[in-house]
Structure 1
Amino acid sequence: MEEALVSFLLAVPSANTADALLQSGNGSESGLAIDFPADQFSIRTTTEATLPVLVGNRINWVRSPQGAASPRIVLYRISGLRDMRMDGPTGLVSSRVQADCFGTSYGSAKAVARALEARLSGYSGTTGGVEFQGAFLIGERDDFFDTETPDKLFRTSLDFNIWTKGT
């Protein structure tokens, strides 16, 4: 499931979509940089194609490479429960996947989270030979890392319940 999920998330949008996002001010060549007071928070989700424009190929499982640029996403499979009936397994697996969306501003982390939600929540289909029965957003939280390094990071974590068949 891990490789298929990243493959689906990184599907490259058409050049027209990427150009339109950059020209509309919803993105920039180095990612998205939106800063605003938390009490005036509003980010408009453009399309699911926004995600690859924002993070490029910076989606990793368990940890990012040292010095990775932001915005980026780190995925964790928190649990995987095999569905059972009285007569045995159904072949379905319910996985809880945490997606940490990092950005150098609150706005950029939130924009990546909204793009990820638009791309993944409600998805069903087959990618990389894995049959996704459904993916659903079930939780969200924000955090800030005040580290000793100059690259202070903001994080929005999204929890998804992802149902797959046979994985």
Structure 2
Amino acid sequence: MSSIVRPYGDTTGDGMVQTSFTLPVPPGPRAEGAALQLATKMGISPAMVVHSHGIGTGYTFFVVYGSVTHLVDLDAVEVEERDYPLMSPAEVNGAIKSRLHRKLVVMGACIGTDAHTVGIDAILNLKGFAGRRAWSTTGRWTSPTSVPRSPCPSWSARPAPPAPTPCWSARS
């Protein structure tokens, strides 16, 4: 077996790949042109926009399909192995119960105005993924978080905090 491989989509070794991304551009011909330009810079040629959809004011989601000439040398692939076993949801909940003897409280935060807000909310509030229920709905851990429903105050409008006193000056 060759250690050099190439992606394939339709036939073995044809180099076909599919990728998706969002650009901060309203839907339309200019947005599709921008997606094609990006795909070409990524090495996909010829690139085809096979799907595009507006996702809010000024944003378009794309699926691009095309061929790449890049090859992968499997002998040169370096992978860092995990030093611990991957635990199933039941094993995680069992470990929490046997070692902590109480619920685990998980805290997380973000400023509430970017895409990370949705991800953190979904993870910490145990909403699950792709139609599957969240794995820890068995109740061994809780997350007292919620997504802000109002815009964050402007951080730039706040005065800068005073500079901290270096610890060496307090001793001299």
Relative to the length of structure 1, the TM-score reads 0.24
- Structure having the higher strand fraction is 1
Q: Which has the higher contact order (CA 8 A, sep 6+)?
A: 1
State the structure with more CA Rg: 2
